[in-house]
Structure 1
Amino acid sequence: MSELSQEEIAEIKDHFDFFDNDGSGLIDQDEFCQLLKILAPEASHENAIRGFETIDVDHNQQIDFDEFLDWWKMNWTVF
């Protein structure tokens, strides 16, 4: 797992919050794909969908920031 600085985490959180349109602390698959376009523009839409499905282990069609951040730390270098 790659370590991110507090500054990098804060920047990622700002982007996450931007796409959390209703302020629930959760984003859905469409919002996740938009977020990934900002953080990893070279990621394909298919990879974004697979990433969301990997994170959404309870299949409620939403993920929170901690789930996203854990996934991002393990995967951001592949993009």
Structure 2
Amino acid sequence: MQDVKPDELSELRQSFDSCDHDADGWIDTGEFTTLLQSLDQDLSKDECLLAFEMTDGDGDGQISFEEFMGWWSGE
């Protein structure tokens, strides 16, 4: 992943935290679906689930901040 500037990192953290509705430090499928559908209302739940699975690099059923950064930057 490219070097992220401190101000960009702060913005990413705010974006992550705004998606993490229960503030547990992870984004679950429901939270990620809400995010994706707010960005593109035409996405189906199946499309959101597929995007979640692709973003959840370690397959633990949750998206970490690091995984979120990779998704957000398109890496």
Normalized against structure 2, the TM-score is what? Answer: 0.66
Structure 1 residue ranges, 4+ long, deviating more than 4 angstroms after superposition: 4-9
**Long gaps (5+) in structure 1:** none
Matched, 1:29 2:25: no
Matched, 1:72 2:40: no
Q: Deviations over 1:37-70 (max 9, x none)?
A: 33x2255133221110012233221011210120
Q: 3-state SS of the aligned residue for 2:34? A: helix
Aligned-pair identity (%): 35
Q: 3-state SS of the aligned residue for 2:31? A: helix
CA RMSD in angstroms comes to 2.9
* Counterpart AA for 1:33: T
Task: Determine which structure has the larger strand proportion and give its number.
Answer: 1
Q: Measured at CA, do residues 33 and 7 of structure 1 come closer, stay the same or move farther in structure 2, by a change above 3 Å?
A: farther
Distance 1:21 1:9 in 2: 19
Q: Measured at CA, do residues 36 and 17 of structure 1 come closer, stay the same or move farther in structure 2, by a change above 3 Å?
A: same
**Long gaps (5+) in structure 2:** none
> What does residue range 8-19 of structure 1 map to in structure 2 within 5 Å?
10-19=10-19
Normalized against structure 1, the TM-score is what? Answer: 0.63
Paired residues in the alignment total 74
